A and B are shown apart, each in its own frame.
Chain A
Amino acid sequence: MPITMNRGAYALAGSSLAFKTGTWRSAKPVHVHAAAPCHGACPAGEDQQAWLALLQEGKPQKAWESLVTSNPLPAITGRVCPHPCESACNRGQFDQPIAIHGIERWLGDEAIRNNWSYPRLSGEIRPERVAIVGAGPAGLSAAYHLTQRKYNVVLFDSLPEAGGLLRSAIPPTRLPRSVIDAEIGRLLHTGIEFRPRTALGRDITLDELRSEFDAVFLGVGAGKSRHWDVDGAVPADLHEGLALLREWLAVGALPKPNAVVIHGGGNTAVDLARVMRRAGIRDVHVVTASGLPGPDTDPDDILNVVPRELEQAIEEGVQFHPHRTINRLIMRGSKVVGVEMVRLKKLPDGSGRKSRVSFEGTETVLHVDMVVPAIGEVVDASGLEHILRQRDFLPVDMFGRIEGQPGLFAGGDARDRLKAYPNGTVSAAIGDGRRAAEAIDALLSRRQPVEESRPSLPYASLNLSYYESSPRISLPTLALEQRNDNAEIEGGPNTAQAMAEAQRCFSCGNCLACDNCWTLCPDNAVLKTSEIAKDGSHYLFDYEYCKGCGLCAKECPCGFISMQAEE
């Protein structure tokens, strides 16, 4: 450090900036963008924190554009998704989770109302052609993501309209047809060639597709009801749940027994139960091996239904019998007059695998004149015989690649259940389509597919001193007496509510631009700059002067700063 002397041999005062206190440091602060728990939990792969941040900045259209980079159908998922993001939300441990589904729905509806179009991505136009079989959520998502990557996409469906089970199995009380039309219409207008009324096995074969196209994605869904009987007994007039629901959605017809028992614990069972109850059937019972949400119920043993749907069903008078199964049909001739139920639970056996154990001595009888199985569906094998080979579902990896079948991909309800990627929801199907698009792009570009995976930010990594409790918005719900077969039961938030709700986001794992690090650094070693900071924050650490005290890391509300040992 040169010292300048004047003629009297006094040193001229210099700035302390010449003294680099950074050499004192044994650990340095770094920005670490951990995944927000909502992002980690989202089956569609949305980064909710990212689009909530844009809403906090007052940019709804930018927020929507960020959202649709992973999920092109937010007005739909905002209505029907069981929102695992909200269960994972760190705010749930502070007061109440962010109403992410409500904000997503509002963004989706705003996009429809304002006619926003999907962001145009740059990139070269690809000559390759990809066939997608099935225009349900999985196929639509794969088609969208491949079109965004500039591939030629042909989308086949056996029905006259795209939508798959969105149209055929979800009642308009949960998902209005106008919303389906708007979102799917926009998606199909991105340059996808849609060929309706074209069924695999009937109008086209898989071999033809595989020879004509560079890759084929199967989003065929699970359209065939699982075989159901009770000790070999089946009533003569058996109706399957999904078939009944489809028929009611298509033509409005519904059988009218005095009392009915629906066997199953998914959305089909609950949707059908509510439709039947509204149609005036006195006693509608749902018998399910799963449990109702409650303190004693294991989280993976809860009914696989959107929680608010379950509450509404109970309000409407559907009678649930959790942790039970049907043990025996009580028949008079070939006609059902009742069922015998028995209690059961999923318990680990000797090898640690969970299986259902029923408890002798807990049998009870329900007097009903109709039994409807809704225990799930399997893939309809038509056209897929030599791929399925007697299996119920298509065997895939996380990118939807079918074992031993290069160039053939599958997703949505048609695939096997993977532990890390459970399926059975619209959001999961959308995620499948997105990952398969990545895998198809990788295959055709001769590279390995990548899926982002970052650890989620734990609640303990937040500094809660900087947040204030504020209640979650409550969304309007139609009163019991106003509910009918068409009107949507749950409403969305208004603009003010949605914007206020977005402000509740903690911004877990990502910079909140709150200035805390900049304000609290005793050494002036945090610099505020939006031009130079390239990591999504507004701040730089000046390692020439940072002494490594760790104050900024401790006082960062969002857990975005970590201390890293110096080498």
Chain B
Amino acid sequence: MTQTTNDPRARQPRFRGLEAGHRACQGCGEALAARLVTESAGPDVILTNATGCLEVFTTPWPQSAWRVPWLHSLFENSAAIASGVEAALKAQGRRSKVIAMGGDGGTFDIGFQALSGMLERMHNVLYVCYDNEAYMNTGIQRSGSTPHAAMTTTSPPGKERMGKRHLKKDLLSIIAAHHIPYAASASVAYPQDLRRKVRRAMEIDGPTFLLVHSPCPLGWGHDGSETIEIARLAVQTGLFPLVELERGEVASVMPLRQKVPVSDYLKLQGRFRHLFVDSDHRAREEREHLQALADYNMERYGLFGDGDDPFDADGADTVRRGGPARA
């Protein structure tokens, strides 16, 4: 498609790695996350993509929404492909950064061994996992990342279980155990923080890892307009703490200012609807369980710092005339 210089799309004051016209659902958190990540990474990158929603909705034959080199091979080998690309670039003496991407299915479960190998071999690759907490592309099956008690098509609530029986895998700790220079969690609700973390990872020569919480309106059962609201509540309730780890040690956390009950987060989503059935005594029990998990996160990461912090969850995304207040 030709663009004239009068076209405002051609004159946007930011780099667009992911262009319009992709087929993501309305209000897709993953599309937003990928847009923000590629924007901050800039044009000098090569992307590899595991199978998943992101791969499908950005590249319907014969089009591509990507404006940077992009490769897709299989579900399980995004990290392996990235390792190879990085090694090839190194051999050629080129310095383009390689970014491997995958969903939580391709990262927590199917592509995990390739990822672990990539980290262990210390490839200069940024791995970004867009975490929407289930296999959304194939029809909302549970993954290792699905939170406890969430409903998916393979963890339906009923007489035997209240949604997923098991816990969300603590992937970040496993990644950190590889003793890599930088690993962090981020959220689409905090774009300034996400951009900062991408820039930080891009600067590092070595393996880095970013876990980006990306709500899925279809799979989580909420309106597309509520994606950011829900992502923000996940952080504010303590269920998805935003942390940075360097060589396995916690380097910083985004502090919380006030305690928000997990119910505020859960009640907006269809996947937790069964936790609000008053006649079922297990509903209360599971809500309390999720609250206890949030409390555990707060304690473990010390999410309540002393006083107001310029980078805390209430202050991080505030705005003023002309843009973000703390860009």
| Residues of chain A having any CB pair with chain B under 8 Å | 3, 11-21, 24, 53, 56-57, 465-468, 503, 507, 512-516, 519-525, 527-529, 531-532, 540, 542, 544-545, 547-551, 553-555, 557, 563
Smallest CB–CB gap between B188 and chain A, Å? 8
Given the known A-B contacts A12-B62, A466-B318, A549-B27, are A19 and B21 also in contact in the complex, defined by CB atoms under 8 Å? yes
Q: Are B32 and A56 in contact (CB under 8 A)?
A: no
28 A–B contacts from the bound complex (CB under 8 Å): A14-B62, A15-B64, A16-B21, A16-B65, A21-B21, A21-B22, A24-B26, A56-B321, A466-B318, A503-B320, A512-B319, A514-B320, A514-B324, A515-B319, A515-B324, A520-B191, A521-B32, A523-B20, A524-B18, A524-B19, A542-B20, A548-B26, A549-B26, A549-B224, A550-B27, A551-B224, A551-B225, A554-B229
Given the known A-B contacts A20-B21, A545-B21, A551-B227, are A11 and B61 also in contact in the complex, defined by CB atoms under 8 Å? yes
Q: Are B225 and A513 in contact (CB under 8 A)?
A: no
Write the B52-64 contact mask toward A (1 if CB under 8 angstroms, else 0): 0000001011111
Report the bound CA distance from A528 to B28 in whole Å: 21
Q: Are B226 and A554 in contact (CB under 8 A)?
A: yes
What chain B residues lie within 8 Å of A19 (beta carbons)?
Answer: 21, 23, 60, 63
Question: Within 8 Å of chain A (Cβ to Cβ): is B245?
Answer: no
Set A3, A513, A529, A551: member contacting B8, Cβ < 8 A: A529
What chain B residues lie within 8 Å of A542 (beta carbons)?
Answer: 9, 20
Set B13, B28, B63, B232: member contacting A15, Cβ < 8 A: B63
| Size category of the binding interface on chain B | 35 or more
Q: Are A3 and B325 in contact (CB under 8 A)?
A: no
**Interface residues in B1-32 (C-beta closer than 8 Å to A):** 1, 8-9, 11-14, 16, 18-24, 26-29, 31-32
Q: Are A549 and B225 in contact (CB under 8 A)?
A: yes
Set B62, B67, B226: member contacting A3, Cβ < 8 A: B62
Smallest CB–CB gap between A58 and chain B, Å? 10
Q: Are A53 and B321 in contact (CB under 8 A)?
A: yes
**Interface residues in B203-257 (C-beta closer than 8 Å to A):** 217, 223-229, 232
What chain B residues lie within 8 Å of A524 (beta carbons)?
Answer: 16, 18-20, 35
Given the known A-B contacts A522-B31, A547-B26, are A18 and B21 also in contact in the complex, defined by CB atoms under 8 Å? yes
- Which chain A residue has the least Cβ–Cβ distance from B327? A515
Q: Are A514 and B228 in contact (CB under 8 A)?
A: no
What chain B residues lie within 8 Å of A523 (beta carbons)?
Answer: 20, 22, 24, 31
Report the bound CA distance from A513 to B13 in whole Å: 14
Q: Are A468 and B315 in contact (CB under 8 A)?
A: yes
Set B19, B23, B318: member contacting A468, Cβ < 8 A: B318
What chain A residues lie within 8 Å of B320 (beta carbons)?
Answer: 56, 503, 512, 514
Given the known A-B contacts A17-B1, A551-B224, are A11 and B62 also in contact in the complex, defined by CB atoms under 8 Å? yes
Q: Are A545 and B27 in contact (CB under 8 A)?
A: no
Q: Are B317 and A466 in contact (CB under 8 A)?
A: yes
- Which chain B residue has the least Cβ–Cβ distance from A465? B232
Set A11, A519, A529: member contacting B191, Cβ < 8 A: A519
Question: Within 8 Å of chain A (Cβ to Cβ): is B314?
Answer: yes
Smallest CB–CB gap between B265 and chain A, Å? 14
Task: Name, among B26, B35, B188, B322, the residue most crowded by chain A CB atoms within 10 Å (CB to CB).
Answer: B26
What chain A residues lie within 8 Å of B158 (beta carbons)?
Answer: none
What chain B residues lie within 8 Å of A465 (beta carbons)?
Answer: 229, 232, 317
Q: Are A527 and B321 in contact (CB under 8 A)?
A: no
Q: Are B64 and A16 in contact (CB under 8 A)?
A: yes
Report the bound CA distance from A522 to B60 in whole Å: 18
